[in-house]
């Protein structure tokens, strides 16, 4: 049995035990990675942050176009809208995402313990990015030529907050296949929450990620497409099948590239059993994954989770077949027992 | 001094390349090379952070460095921004 003494067990044995369903080992693996990462962050930043209060409050900071977080607090939980529409959008978007995870899965904020949800807006000059730094989100305004305000797009906000959720649930490493899964889960909850926010059903939805942050001058319609990976813009090299798997070293071994493969399978699964059942199956799967999980580990776990939820009557009874078929069509055939 | 800058990764995952030449006096050049020495590749919890790759050449001398979102020196970011915004 692996209990308190788990930390002296070598990581490869922990991984194997985690794969076999040992939750204690999975927790040890994930906690160890998280502790190391946080220690590294503290050393890098030489910054001590205050203890969060557990009320899942939204805080929006204006970076005033400096490359510095938390320059000026402009919105706190319960505040009235400000004159800055970007601040209002960041506040409203993060609230919608927080409420979705709470009401749908009972998850209290990003960490399950009511951590505050902190957004930094107007970061840098013409900064074409949004990121999760392990504690909070940071959004650029875009250069105005190809990209525009990243904080105003609900799928971007949901994508970044989902990185936080992944950090606390599975702590998937950010390279190779585990990194592509990390990106995949962010796109999954990005697109699910976008459809809820826009009150769309799956036929109406465009399944695009980042369509609101690109300008008309940008050579494409979005950053990524879950329906048709590789077609969102002129630079989009996402594969939609393992036959075209990217095995190079760029982008942390293709974390934003190979995520197209499970993304396509998620889209196909939604067509079969609906987006709500898929969202539940994917969320429960994320809770069961571990730091170094790869594509095959995820498919195995998805099938196992779908079997359990289906037997409990919580999702469509065709879920296992639908997920199995969808992943087979992208070159990841699961073994269903 | 000739430069090549690549910004990769990030939410968009779309790499951007900048190439050109900029005159630096000796003090500026010394400062720049000192900044490049601070590069490290330690792990970071940042997700969707960008990676910044620099290559400067002067004559036979080649200087390269890579930084992440969390460790890019502010002075180097200012130099990079001035190059990007001048393009």
Confirm or reject contact between B71 and chain A (CB < 8 A).
Answer: yes
Of the candidates B13, B44, B74, the beta carbon closest to that of A67 is on: B74
- A163 and A227 share one domain: no
For residues A267 and A226, the answer to whether their CB atoms sit within 8 Å is yes
Task: Determine whether the interchain pair B47/A128 forms a contact, defined as Cβ–Cβ distance below 8 Å.
Answer: no
- A301 and A209 share one domain: yes
Residues of B within 8 A of A154 (CB-CB) are: none
Task: Determine whether the interchain pair B47/A167 forms a contact, defined as Cβ–Cβ distance below 8 Å.
Answer: yes
pLDDT in tens, A204-247: 999 999 999 999 999 999 999 999 999 999 999 999 999 999 99
Q: Which of A13-22, A323-332, B75-84 has the lowest mean pLDDT?
A: A13-22
Confirm or reject contact between B82 and chain A (CB < 8 A).
Answer: no
Residue A298: pLDDT band with limits 50, 70, 90:
very high
pTM for the model = 0.88
Determine, yes or no, domain membership for A280.
yes
Average pLDDT on A124-143 reads 96
Catalytic residues of A: 160, 256
* Res A312: pLDDT: 98
Q: What ipTM was assigned to the predicted interfaces of this complex?
A: 0.90
* Res A78: pLDDT: 97
Average pLDDT on A47-58 reads 72
For residues A86 and A69, the answer to whether their CB atoms sit within 8 Å is no
Q: At A305, which CATH number? A: 1.10.390.10
Angstrom distance (rounded) from CA A295 to CA A323:
14
Number of domains in chain A: 2
Best residue in A128, A138, A215, A217 for a mutation probing chain B (most B CBs within 10 Å): A128
Residue A2: pLDDT band with limits 50, 70, 90:
very low
The 3-state DSSP class for residue A183 equals: helix
Residue A76 domain boundaries: 11-169
- Of the residues A131, A152, A169, which one is the last residue of a structural domain? A169
With a CB-CB cutoff of 8 Å, which residues 2-41 of chain B face chain A?
Answer: 8-16
pLDDT surpasses 90 at B83: no
- A209 and A143 share one domain: no
H helical segments located in chain A: 11-19, 23-45, 85-105, 154-169, 176-197, 250-254, 260-273, 275-288, 295-311, 319-328
Angstrom distance (rounded) from CA A306 to CA A162:
21
- A112 and A51 share one domain: yes
- Of the residues A134, A169, A204, which one is the last residue of a structural domain? A169
Confirm or reject contact between B46 and chain A (CB < 8 A).
Answer: yes
Angstrom distance (rounded) from CA B75 to CA B10:
21
Cβ-Cβ contacts under 8 Å between A and B: the total is 92
Q: Over chain A, what is the mean pLDDT?
A: 92
The CA–CA distances, whole Å, from B38 to B5, B71, B76, B81 equal 17, 8, 11, 19
Nearest residue of B to residue A209, measured between CA atoms: B12
Residue A316 burial (CB count, 10 A): 19
Nearest residue of B to residue A132, measured between CA atoms: B47
Determine, yes or no, domain membership for A333.
no
With a CB-CB cutoff of 8 Å, which residues 70-99 of chain A face chain B?
Answer: none
Determine, yes or no, domain membership for A100.
yes
Of the candidates A38, A41, A251, the beta carbon closest to that of B13 is on: A251
Best residue in B18, B47, B67, B85 for a mutation probing chain A (most A CBs within 10 Å): B47
- A162 and A180 share one domain: no
Confirm or reject contact between A130 and chain B (CB < 8 A).
Answer: yes
Nearest residue of B to residue A236, measured between CA atoms: B14
- A198 and A66 share one domain: no
Of the candidates B12, B45, B50, the beta carbon closest to that of A38 is on: B45
* Res A51: pLDDT: 57
Q: At A88, which CATH number? A: 3.10.170.10
- A198 and A160 share one domain: no
pLDDT surpasses 50 at A249: yes
Helices then strands (H, E): number in chain B? 2, 4
């Amino acid at each position: 049995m692996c209990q308190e003494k788990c930390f002296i067990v070598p990581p490869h044995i922990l991984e194997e035990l985690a794969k076999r369903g040992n939750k204690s080992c999975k927790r040890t693996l994930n906690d160890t990675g998280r502790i190391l990462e946080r220690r590294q962050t503290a050393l890098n930043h030489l910054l001590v942050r205050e203890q969060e209060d557990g009320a899942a409050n939204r805080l929006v900071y204006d970076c005033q176009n400096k490359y510095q977080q938390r320059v000026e607090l402009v919105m706190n939980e319960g505040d009235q809208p400000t004159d800055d529409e970007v601040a209002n959008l960041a506040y409203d978007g993060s609230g919608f995402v927080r409420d979705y995870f709470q009401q749908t899965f009972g998850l209290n904020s990003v960490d399950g313990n009511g951590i505050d949800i902190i957004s930094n807006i107007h970061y840098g000059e013409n900064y074409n990015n949004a990121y999760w730094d392990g504690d909070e989100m940071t959004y650029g305004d875009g250069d105005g030529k190809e990209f525009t305000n990243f904080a105003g797009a609900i799928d971007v906000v949901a994508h970044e907050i989902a990185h936080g959720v992944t950090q606390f649930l599975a702590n998937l490493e950010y390279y190779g296949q585990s990194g592509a899964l990390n990106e995949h889960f962010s796109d999954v909850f990005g697109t699910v929450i976008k459809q809820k926010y826009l009150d769309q059903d799956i036929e109406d939805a465009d399944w695009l990620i980042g369509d609101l942050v690109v300008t008309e001058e940008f050579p494409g319609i979005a950053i990524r497409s879950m329906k048709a990976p590789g077609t969102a813009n002129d630079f989009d090299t996402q594969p939609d099948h393992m036959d075209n798997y990217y095995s190079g070293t760029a982008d942390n071994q293709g974390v934003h590239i190979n995520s197209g493969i499970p993304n396509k399978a998620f889209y196909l699964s939604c067509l079969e059993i609906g987006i709500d059942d898929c969202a539940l199956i994917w969320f429960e799967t994320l809770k069961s994954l571990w730091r170094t999980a790869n594509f095959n580990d995820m498919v195995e776990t998805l099938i196992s989770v779908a079997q359990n939820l289906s037997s409990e009557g919580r999702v469509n009874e065709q879920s296992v077949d639908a997920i199995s078929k969808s992943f087979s069509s992208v070159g990841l055939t699961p073994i269903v027992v | 001094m000739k430069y090549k800058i690549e910004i990769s990764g990030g939410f968009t995952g779309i790499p951007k390349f900048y190439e050109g030449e900029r005159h630096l006096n000796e003090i500026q050049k010394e400062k720049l090379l000192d900044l490049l020495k601070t590069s490290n590749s330690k792990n970071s919890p940042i997700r969707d952070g960008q990676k910044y790759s620099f290559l400067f050449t002067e004559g036979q001398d080649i200087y390269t460095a890579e930084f992440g979102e969390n460790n890019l020196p502010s002075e180097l970011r200012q130099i990079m921004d001035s190059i990007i915004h001048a393009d």
